[in-house]
Structure 1
Amino acid sequence: MPVRKLARLLAATLLVAASLSAQQPAQAATFEHPGVLVSRAQLDFVTANLGKEPWKSAWEALQKSPSASLSYTAMPRAVVECGEYSNPDHGCSDEREDANAAYTHALRWYLTKDSRYAEKAIEIMDAWSAVITKHTGSNAPLQTGFAGANFSRAAELIKHTYTDWAQAPRFADKLRTVYLPTVIAGAPNHQGNWELIMTDAAIGIAVHLDDRASFDQAVTTWRGRVPAYIYLESDGALPKAPPNSDHNTKAELIKYWHDQTTFVNGLTQETCRDFGHVGWGLAAMSHVAETARHQGLALFGAAKDRLRFAMEFHSRLQLGAPKPSWLCGGEPVIGLGANLEVGYNALHQRLGYDLPQTTTWVQQKRPAGLGRFLAWETLTHANNPR
C-alpha cells in the first residue's frame, strides 16, 4: 500500500477513535440534576399544590417539625460508632437526625425560596464534612446507609437549586470517601433491608457525584436483591438467593426467611421477622427505582409485580385481615409504618395499578413524617404525576 494512502487510512482511523473516545465519557457522565429521589418537576408540582390536601397537612407537619427549625444545631463527630440496634450509640442518632434535618431544610428552601433554610441545610452539612472520618461498630454499614441517603438528597437539592455553597466540594468528597465505599459494597448476607437501604444511599451519592460506574453498580445490586427479597410463585418452590450470599441451600434459605416454609406472592424475606423492617425494605427499593427513573431508567417496570404483591399482602394483614396459620406460625409481627408512599405513587398513580389495600393503609398513615432514612414522602410523592 502506498505510504500516502496508508497515512490517510491511519489518520481516518485515529479520527474515528478520537470521536468515539470524546463521545463516550460525555454520555457516561450525564445525569439529571436535581435527581436524587425528587426532581425539580416533582417539587414544582408540590409548590403549586401546597394549599390542597394531602400536601397541605404534610407541609404543615414539616414546618412544625423541630428538624425544620432555624435554631436547629448539628451534632457532628469524627467517628460515629453504632452497635447492634444502635447500642452503643456514639453519634448514630445525631447523624441520622442531622441528615434528616439537612434534607428537611433543603425541601423547605425549595418550597419557599427563603434562603435562610438553604443556609441552615448548608450549615448542617458543612459541620459534618469538617470532621467526619469513618463509621465503626457492627451496624456501621446500615448507619452509613441511613445517613448517606438523606445527606445525598440534601446535597443534591442544595447544590443544584442554590447558588452559594462554598464547601460543596468538601461535602462531596466526604460522600465519596466516607460513605460510598461502604454502601456500594452491599451486604448480601445481612437482612434484606440492610442492602436495600445501603443501595438507596449508594445510588443517591452516585448521582450527586456524577459517578456512572457506582450508579451502574448500585443498579446491579438492586436488580439482584429485589427478586431475592420479594417472592413470586414463578420463582419456584423456594425464594431466590441473594447474589454473592452464603444463603444458597434449602435449609439456609428457610432459616434466612425466618423459618417460613410456605411461600406466596408478595411474601418477603423479612415478613416473619417483623413488618417494620419489611416497610424499610420496600421503601428503600422504591427510592432506588425513583432515583433511577429521574435518570431515565425504568426500574419500577422490572419490579412492579413483586412490589405490588408485597404492598397488598402486608397492607391487608396490617389492616386486620385474619392471619393465616401457615404464616410465621400464625403470629406475624405487624407494624408496617408510613413507608409506602413512593412505591404506591409509582405503581398506582403512574402505572395505573389498582391497589385497594395499599391505598387504605397509605391514606391512614398520611402525612408521612421523618424516620431514619425516610422524610416527608407524602409531601414529595403523594399523587405526584411528575
Structure 2
Amino acid sequence: MSRSRLHVTMPRVVALGALLLTTVVVPQSDAGATTAVAVPVAQVAERQIAAPATFTHPGVLVSRPQLDFVRSRVNAGAQPWKGAYDQMMASALASLSRTPKPRAIVECGSYSNPNNGCTDERQDALAAYTLALTWYVGGDSRYAEKAIQIMDAWSATIRDHTNSNAPLQAAWAASSWPRAAEIIRYTYSGWSSTGVNRFGTMLRNVYLPEIINGNATSNGNWELSMMEATLGISVFLEDRASYDRAVAKFRDRLPAFLYLTTDGAYPRGPVGSSIDTRAEVVSYWHGQQQFSDGLSQETCRDFTHTGYGISAISHVAETLRHQGQDIYPEIQDRLRHALGFHAKYELGDAVPSSLCGGSLTLGLGPVTEVAFNALSNRRGIAMTRTQQLTERQRPAGTNYLFVAWETLTHAGNPS
C-alpha cells in the first residue's frame, strides 16, 4: 500500500443533549406538527454507544429477520416486494455470467476522471451484494457461489486506491462489500476460510486506512459515506476500536450536514475543520444565507449528493440498530425534517427565492426507503411528503454507487 493512515483513538464518552428530559416531542408529519409524549430518559439523551460485546451477523444494513421477512413476502407474491425482486433479478448486477474485473490499483480522479477501475469496482461490489440477496431470497446456491467468485477475485488482487477521489471511491465500494460478505459468510457454508480471511485482510489493509480518519473539509456526503463503510467493515471484522471511532465521527458530522433550528442561528462547521464563522459556513453551504429545519449542507449544490449523505446516515443508523444500539431516537428529528424538506421539492412544490436563489437541482435518488421505514413504520412518525415520494419511486432500484434494492429490503419491514 502507498498509504498508512490508520489511526484509532480511544472512544469518547459522549455527553451532549438534554440529559434530564423525561419527555420528547414526537413529530407527527413532515409539515412539523408535534405531540409531547413521555418516554424513558435513555431514549432522549445522547448517550455513549460502544461496540457490542457480541456482534450480530448478518448485521450490516440488513439482518437475518429482515431477510426472512423479504423472502416470505417475495414467495407469497406480495407487493411491492415481488416487483422489487423482479427488478433486481432483471439487473445485470444479478447475472450469473458476470465476470469480475479486479485491479491492483484503482485510480479515481474527481468525478471519476480518470476512471481506472472505479466503475468496475463499485459495480462488482454491488453485484456481490445483489447476488447475496438473490441467494438468500431465492435459495439458489449458484448466486452465492458467484458472489464468492467476485469477492475472492478482488481480495486476491486489489492493493490500493489513488488520485483525488480515492477516499470516496473506497467508501462507496466498502459500503457494499461488507453487506455481501455478511450475508454469504453467515448464511452459506461454501465460502472457504481462506477466502473469508483474505477478504477480511483486504477490508482491513486496503479500505480501512483510506476512510477511517474521515475528511472534515469535503462536502458532507464524503465523510458520512466513509463512516458508513468504516462501520460495516468494523462489524465484519468485529473491530471494536474502529466501530467506536466510526460512531463518534458520525455523530460529529451529522449536525454539520443536516440543520435544525435548535443548533443555533447557523449550522455548525465540521469537527476537525476551521469552518466556524457564519461567513465560512455560508460558503461551505454553497451560498445559502437562510437556514431552516431539514436543510442540508449540499442542498444548494444538488439533491443527488444530498441524497448520498441522507442514505449513508440511514445505513449507519440501521446497522447500529442491528448491533443492539438504536440511534434513531437521537437523530429522528434531524433525519425526518431532512426527508420531508427535500421530498416536497422533488414532488414539485414551488421553490422560494430565499432557498438557493430560487433554483434547485433535483434528483434525490432511491434513498428514502430505509429511513422512511425506520421512522414512519417502526417509530410511528407520520411523514406525508416522504411517503408520497417513496411510494412514487417504488420499486427503488440502484444508483450504481452504493445504494441498491431498498424497496426489496426495507419497505414495510418490521424487523
- Opposite residue 398 of structure 2, the aligned amino acid is L
Structure 1 match to 2:404: 375
SS in 1 for 2:272: coil
- CA separation in 2, counterparts of 1:189 and 1:299? 25
Deviations, residues 95-114 of structure 1 (Å, cap 9, x unaligned)? 00000100000000111221
Structure 2 match to 1:347: 375
User: Which structure: larger Rg?
Assistant: 1
Structure 1 match to 2:88: 62
Deviations, residues 130-149 of structure 1 (Å, cap 9, x unaligned)? 11000001000000011001
Task: Identify unmatched segments of 5+ residues in structure 2.
Answer: 1-50
- CA separation in 2, counterparts of 1:246 and 1:163? 50
Structure 2 match to 1:91: 117
Structure 2 match to 1:147: 173
Of 316, 319, 322, 2:350 maps to 322
Pairing 1:1-386 to 2, within 5 Å after superposition: 29-50=53-74, 51-166=77-192, 167-371=195-399, 372-386=401-415
1:299 deviation in Å?
Answer: 1.2
- Opposite residue 378 of structure 1, the aligned amino acid is T
- CA separation in 1, counterparts of 2:124 and 2:143? 14
Structure 2 match to 1:7: none
- Opposite residue 302 of structure 1, the aligned amino acid is E
SS in 2 for 1:169: helix
- CA separation in 2, counterparts of 1:349 and 1:184? 32
Contact kept? 2:171, 2:211, Cα under 8 Å: yes
1:28 deviation in Å?
Answer: 5.4
RMSD of equivalent CA atoms:
0.9
Corresponding residue pairs, total: 360
1:228 deviation in Å?
Answer: 1.2
Identity percentage of aligned residues: 55
> Mean Cα displacement is larger for which, 150-159 or 245-254?
245-254
1:29 deviation in Å?
Answer: 4.6
Structure 1 match to 2:27: none
Task: Identify unmatched segments of 5+ residues in structure 1.
Answer: 1-26
Contact kept? 1:29, 1:210, Cα under 8 Å: no
Runs of 4+ in structure 1 off by over 2 angstroms are: none
SS in 2 for 1:80: strand
1:246 deviation in Å?
Answer: 2.2
SS in 2 for 1:284: helix
- Opposite residue 236 of structure 2, the aligned amino acid is H
SS in 1 for 2:106: strand
SS in 2 for 1:165: coil
- CA separation in 1, counterparts of 2:328 and 2:208? 24
More helix by share: 1
- Opposite residue 381 of structure 1, the aligned amino acid is H
- CA separation in 1, counterparts of 2:292 and 2:278? 16
- Opposite residue 175 of structure 1, the aligned amino acid is L
> Mean Cα displacement is larger for which, 87-96 or 220-229?
220-229
- CA separation in 2, counterparts of 1:86 and 1:30? 39
